[in-house]
């Protein structure tokens, strides 16, 4: 089960209730994504590393608290807000505006009944993933996601404009730290809270000078992270999903390729704002054989022509023995695909070493 809304509405509980096997987290377990207040409390209780934070349901108390903090300050709506409920404010007035927007103007509806106010972390951002049947935890390869619409991380946030795997700074020590201090303790904590977590756990992390810290959890594969992690999976995905459902993940040997994978999203003109659809997409038959094309916002017309039908239209993916090779493959194929107004980032997986 993919998107967060049906998970949070309890589709997995429903399938379980009528005896149909389903891979996904229950409504109670999905709170790890659907309530930031719940998750912050969980992390505090079980010592899972995260930004220092306080939660509020009272607007005036939140306001008073903000006035005693030092910017930058991060304000998060408690509930699901399609990736838009997080505001990083550089000043007190800006923080108060964010609070106002979430709790008073109700920009995100009931998602803003409560807020989390937290310290701003700096470091390298990455996403880690693990399969779990509630007991056994098996990490996936990690990835980096590009949320902003324009090159150089400019412009508004989107669902994700591209991604690559593995992160250029990832290494075995960091992988063990993430597994031992974040993934395993979180699965254990959820079991202790009687919210057994059986699915894939997605952890958005900031790798700080004091180690990796959790920014958020998602109860699913990410989009477009799935497109660059699953092509590296050598084991049959179905075997893993079934083992998660049956609670015998410890019997599966999950193998990953050591290749790199890069995915670039092609979006409609105007996205993430308003956009038009129905434009023909050409060139899909002109790509090299080993290029993967994931359709998201597309449809077929009566003649079998592929048309645009959404904001994020396609994700174009290539693997290579190095990140540079995978990147080169994606970007040499991308210009062969065209639809009116299409835009994509040119800097996915471009690694600029910090001076």
Of 12-20, 80-88, 264-272, 319-327, the segment contacting ligand AMP by CB under 6 A is 80-88
Q: Which of 159, 348, 162 is nearest to 272 (CA)?
A: 159
User: What's the min distance (Å) between Cβ of 220 and ligand GLY?
Assistant: 7
Nearest-angstrom CA–CA distance, 92 and 159: 28
- The answer to whether 337 contacts ligand AMP (rule: CB under 6 A) is no
CB within 8 Å of 324: residues ≥ 6 apart: none
**Residue 142 or 287: which CB sits closer to ligand GLY?**
142
- The answer to whether 216 contacts ligand AMP (rule: CB under 6 A) is yes
Please pick, from the candidates 204, 211, 310, 320, the single residue that binds ligand AMP as defined by CB under 6 A.
204
User: What's the min distance (Å) between Cβ of 221 and ligand GLY?
Assistant: 8
- The answer to whether 184 contacts ligand AMP (rule: CB under 6 A) is no
User: What's the min distance (Å) between Cβ of 165 and ligand AMP?
Assistant: 17
- DSSP per residue over 73-91, as a string? EEEEESS--TT--EEEESS
- DSSP per residue over 107-151, as a string? TTGGGGSSEEEEEPP-SEEEEEEEEEESS-EEE---BEEEEEEET
- The answer to whether 87 contacts ligand AMP (rule: CB under 6 A) is no
Residue 310 interface partner, choices ligand AMP, ligand GLY, none, CB cut-off 5-8 Å depending on type: none
Residue 118 interface partner, choices ligand GLY, ligand AMP, none, CB cut-off 5-8 Å depending on type: ligand AMP
Diameter over CA atoms, the chain = 63
Residue 78 interface partner, choices ligand AMP, ligand GLY, none, CB cut-off 5-8 Å depending on type: none
Q: Which of 316, 275, 281, 283 is nearest to 300 (CA)?
A: 281
């Amino acid at each position: 089960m993919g998107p967060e809304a049906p998970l949070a509405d309890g589709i997995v509980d429903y399938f379980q209730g009528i005896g149909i096997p389903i891979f996904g987290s229950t409504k109670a377990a999905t709170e790890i994504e659907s309530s930031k207040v719940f998750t912050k409390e969980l992390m505090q209780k079980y010592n899972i590393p995260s930004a220092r934070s306080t939660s509020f349901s009272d607007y005036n108390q939140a306001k008073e608290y903000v006035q005693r903090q030092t910017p930058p300050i991060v304000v998060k709506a408690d509930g699901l807000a399609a990736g838009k409920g997080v505001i990083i404010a550089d000043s007190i007035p800006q923080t108060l505006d964010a609070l106002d927007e979430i709790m008073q103007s109700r920009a995100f509806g009931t998602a803003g009944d409560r807020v989390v106010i937290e310290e701003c972390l700096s470091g390298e951002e990455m996403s880690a993933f693990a399969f779990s049947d509630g007991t056994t935890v098996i990490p996936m390869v990690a990835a980096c996601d590009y949320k902003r619409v324009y090159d150089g991380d400019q412009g508004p946030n989107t669902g994700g404009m591209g991604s690559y795997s593995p992160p250029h700074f990832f290494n075995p020590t960091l992988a063990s730290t993430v597994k031992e201090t974040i993934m395993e303790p979180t699965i254990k904590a959820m079991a202790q809270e009687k919210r057994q977590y059986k699915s894939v756990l997605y952890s958005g992390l900031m790798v700080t000078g004091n180690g990796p810290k959790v920014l958020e959890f998602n109860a699913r594969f990410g989009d477009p992270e799935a497109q660059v992690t699953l092509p590296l999976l050598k084991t049959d995905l179905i075997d893993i999903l079934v083992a998660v459902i049956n609670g015998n993940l410890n019997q599966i040997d999950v193998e990953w390729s050591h290749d790199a994978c890069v995915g670039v999203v092609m979006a409609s003109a105007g996205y993430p704002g308003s956009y038009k659809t129905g434009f023909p997409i050409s060139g899909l038959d002109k790509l090299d054989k080993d290029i993967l094309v994931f359709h998201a916002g597309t449809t077929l017309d009566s003649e079998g022509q592929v048309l645009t039908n959404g904001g994020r239209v396609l994700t174009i993916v290539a693997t290579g023995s190095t990140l540079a090779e995978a990147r080169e493959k994606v970007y040499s194929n991308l210009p062969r695909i065209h639809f009116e107004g299409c835009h994509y980032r040119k800097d996915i997986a471009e690694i600029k070493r910090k001076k």
